[in-house]
């Protein structure tokens, strides 16, 4: 398969990974620095194998998505294979709270500052993303000083309601969407991102500015059910494709 590891890791579904500049990428996950140059590096690591969803047939999914219509075919062929990552629930929740009205560069910067302030150093200059327990004593003043802005009270509310993330696992998709939105600052788009990129709910279809444009221009009168059973993966292909077009 024509794996597009860069788009999978740096395209907006996670903010944990860094381009090491030598063809490899690294992230602090599972309490350690993980380094990867290709998916072959993940195959023998049980944690990374699960994280990269290696047991799922992405080649079959990609073929069936591309066969659906000419727009999806162009999106798939121009992008290469994208995977849906299985991230830690808490990390994904805070990451997508940070993503509101933001861009990837700024979100990554906020992610790093939270890690340095509340996480644990595992290698020189590399820190774990803090757990809800690590952040239990965080204040709004501290969070705003790190640049989180209007998102600071949302993060504090997520800390106080972290148990919701355990409840979501057993819920049907619509119920899970509703339950996540009990956390301040989480609306339908953020809830859908959390469910896709942490709980691997493949029926999610986040609608941000880019995707609203795609639906308006290329799929008038259609809703996410048109892309079933590949709603989330189709969304990722279309999201990558429309951004590359500018």
How far is it, in rounded angstroms, from Cα 222 to Cα 228?
12
The residues pairing with 35 across neighbouring beta strands, listed in sequence order, are 26
How far is it, in rounded angstroms, from Cα 199 to Cα 203?
11
User: What are the b/e assignments for 179-206, b being 16+ CB within 10 Å?
Assistant: bbeebebbeebbbbbbbbbbbbbbbbbb
How far is it, in rounded angstroms, from Cα 151 to Cα 219?
33
How far is it, in rounded angstroms, from Cα 221 to Cα 162?
37
Mean pLDDT of the chain: 96
pLDDT at residue 157 is higher than 90: yes
Residue 85 and residue 14 in contact, taking contact as beta carbons nearer than 8 Å? yes
pLDDT (average), residues 165-193: 97
- Start-to-end CA span in the chain (Å): 26
When pLDDT is cut at 50, 70 and 90, the band that residue 1 belongs to is low
In tens, the pLDDT along 192-238 reads: 999 999 999 999 999 999 999 999 999 999 999 999 999 999 999 99
Cβ neighbours around 209 below 10 Å, total: 8
In tens, the pLDDT along 121-137 reads: 999 999 999 999 999 99
In tens, the pLDDT along 180-195 reads: 999 999 999 999 999 9
Residue 216 and residue 49 in contact, taking contact as beta carbons nearer than 8 Å? no
Q: pTM score, two decimals?
A: 0.95
When pLDDT is cut at 50, 70 and 90, the band that residue 44 belongs to is very high
Residues sharing a CB contact under 8 Å with residue 121, sequence separation 6 or more, in sequence order: 127
pLDDT at residue 50 is higher than 80: yes
Assigned token pair, 81? 């294979």
Going by their DSSP bridges, the two strands 25-29 and 121-123 should be labelled as unpaired
pLDDT at residue 71 is higher than 70: yes
Where do we find the tokens 């150093």? 121
What does the pLDDT read at residue 245?
A: 84
What does the pLDDT read at residue 246?
A: 73
Domains in the chain (CATH in brackets) are 5-85+204-245 (3.30.310.260), 89-197 (1.10.340.30)
């Amino acid at each position: 398969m024509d794996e597009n590891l860069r788009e999978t890791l740096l395209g907006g579904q996670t903010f944990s990974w860094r381009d090491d500049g030598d063809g490899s990428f690294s992230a602090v996950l599972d309490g350690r620095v993980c380094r990867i140059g290709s998916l072959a590096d993940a195959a023998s690591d049980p944690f990374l194998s699960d994280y990269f969803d290696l047991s799922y047939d992405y080649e079959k999914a990609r073929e069936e998505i591309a066969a659906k219509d000419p727009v999806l075919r162009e999106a798939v062929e121009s992008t290469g294979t994208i995977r849906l990552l299985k991230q830690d629930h808490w990390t994904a929740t805070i990451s997508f709270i940070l993503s509101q009205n933001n861009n990837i560069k700024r979100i990554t910067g906020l992610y790093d500052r939270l890690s340095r302030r509340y996480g644990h150093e595992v290698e020189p200059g590399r820190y774990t993303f803090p757990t809800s327990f690590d952040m239990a004593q965080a204040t709004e003043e501290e969070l705003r000083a790190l640049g989180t802005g209007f998102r600071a009270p949302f993060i504090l509310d997520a800390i106080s309601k972290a148990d919701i993330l355990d409840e979501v696992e057993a819920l049907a998709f619509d119920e899970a969407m509703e339950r996540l939105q009990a956390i301040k600052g989480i609306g339908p788009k953020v809830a859908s991102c959390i469910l896709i990129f942490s709980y691997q709910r493949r029926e999610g279809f986040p609608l941000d500015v880019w995707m609203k444009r795609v639906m308006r221009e290329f799929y008038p009168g259609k809703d996410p059910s048109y892309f079933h059973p590949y709603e989330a993966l189709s969304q990722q292909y279309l999201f990558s494709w429309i951004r590359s077009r500018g």
